[in-house]
Amino acid sequence: MDSGIILFHCFMILLAFMSLLVKPGVGGKCAFEAIFNFGDSNSDTGGFFSAFPSQPSPNGMTYFNRPTGRPSDGRLYLDFLAQALGLPFVSPYLQSIGSDFRHGANFATSASTVLLPKTSLFDTGVSPFALAIQLNQMKQFKSRVDEQSSGQEKLPSSDIIGKSLYTFYIGQNDFTGNLGSGIDGARQIMPQLVSQISSTIKELYGLGGRTFLILNLAPVGCYPAFLVQLPHEGSDVDQFGCMISINNGVNEYNNMLKESLRQTRQDLGDAKVIYVNTHDALLELFQHPKNHGMQYGPKACCGTGGGSYNYNPQVFCGYSKSLNGQEVTATACDDPQNYVSWDGIHATEAANKQLAYAILGGSMSDPPFKFSDFCEIQPLG
């Protein structure tokens, strides 16, 4: 077993023990007073559905008991990270009702890409809020913070920028959206993706940001959606049911991203630029779900009930459609805590919680970054 995975297991045991010693809900001191997040659906806490309201149940069924714009049955990794740091959930920048930005803002939206889209949302389903747009929103946010009168709005003080954590979880849609011609299609845009991410970090550094957490690309070759939709031979599937060629391509991209961030770290001498190996943390869950209290790897909880992957690309989670003269609805399983995949594309709350544990421990990061060195970690309820 990889040494990083062993450390991941050890930290989870330690954190579980710590949760017995610390009272839930008691805020502790933390070097990070806010989180500013950039990303896609993997960390979207409601931005997309603030702009395009329509998310159905059963999304949100586990924790919120209603749809909140998160593509999951409950909380995302970003929610758990905020909870662990003693911060409230990060409000979506696009949400005009009920938002409180005193502890940061979430610019992520579902279907977002690193590169600017060449088509509209209504043609291909790609969000108009690409990384460059999210960066501009952050610049506008900072300008508004700098201009505000004290206590006028639910905004942070102007010195918050340097005391914040900047998180990135984006690139999946660029990668998977270019797999139509095989892995070579994705390979062609990899240099552009890592370059855009690095340049965005440098611009945020120019605004005053100093701590950046960049999650790499997950093992999408284990995602039910792509196992169903992408053509592949039986020999291209490993013993765990994951597509070998796609995950090899993911590793190519991740290695390129890691090297680009290493260079960025050198360019920004006093900044912390942390590469997080999301891939290995999630791959461990897909390959060995029972070792983490789950039952199913590459199988969706919310689907139409057909096939080994429980995923139908024509009927998304919570929606109904007439297929071959029969009304088909994608419904949720009764036990999402036993699944890694929520809807074939996104993680369940249970998987997101495990991912948060891995991030907090620091063993999956390069360079290693233990949050307990900067914050009094709160238990994850």
Where do the domains of the chain lie?
30-294+347-373
Per-residue confidence (pLDDT) for residue 15, from 0 to 100: 44
Range 30-294+347-373 has CATH code 3.40.50.150: no
Q: What value does the mean pLDDT of the chain take?
A: 92
Phi and psi, residue 92, nearest 5°: -65, 135
Give the range with max mean pLDDT: 85-89, 231-235, 322-326.
85-89
For the stretch 26-54, pLDDT in tens is 346 899 999 999 999 999 999 999 999 99
Annotated catalytic residues are 41, 343, 346
Distance CA 298, CA 282 (A): 11
- Counted residue by residue, the chain has a size of 381
Distance between start and end Cα atoms, the chain: 29
Mean pLDDT of 64-93: 98
Residue 320 in this model has a pLDDT that exceeds 60: yes
Distance CA 3, CA 290 (A): 19
Mean pLDDT of 319-330: 94
For the stretch 255-269, pLDDT in tens is 999 999 999 999 999
Cis peptide before 336 (omega within 30 of 0): no
Residue 3 in this model has a pLDDT that exceeds 80: no
For the stretch 203-223, pLDDT in tens is 999 999 999 999 999 999 999
Residue 122 in this model has a pLDDT that exceeds 90: no
* pTM (two decimals): 0.92
Residue 150 in this model has a pLDDT that exceeds 90: no
